[in-house]
């Protein structure tokens, strides 16, 4: 909301009334409140937990050289 315009300002035109809403090409079903889907939310949560668990297990059980080689970093042999 905007603040009302005071009438004591000279040469200020009157504020017209609220404009009527024009018809919209968007159907009303596109702007209604979303419906909750608890089964879908549970599935997405379990999928995310499975992915996090898989990554954690891979990081804990894998060797550091294997993880570094996937990033493009190569270990150099000792010099000397």
Query: Per residue in 13-68, pLDDT tens?
Result: 766 776 677 777 877 777 777 788 899 999 999 999 999 999 898 888 877 666 55
Query: What pLDDT does residue 7 have?
Result: 61
Side-chain half-sphere CA neighbours of 46 within 13 A = 6
Model-level pTM greater than 0.75?
Answer: no
Structure tokens belonging to residue 69: 């080689």
Give the span between the Cα atoms of 16 and 5, in whole angstroms: 12
How far apart are the C-alpha atoms of 52 and 44, rounded to whole Å?
A: 12
């Amino acid at each position: 909301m905007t603040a009302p315009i005071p009438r004591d300002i000279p040469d200020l035109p009157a504020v017209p009334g609220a404009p009527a809403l024009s018809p919209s090409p968007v159907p009303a079903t596109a702007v209604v409140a979303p419906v909750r889907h608890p089964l879908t939310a549970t599935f997405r949560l379990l999928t995310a937990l499975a992915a996090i668990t898989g990554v954690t297990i891979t990081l804990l059980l894998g060797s550091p050289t294997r993880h570094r080689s996937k990033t493009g970093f190569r270990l150099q042999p000792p010099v000397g």
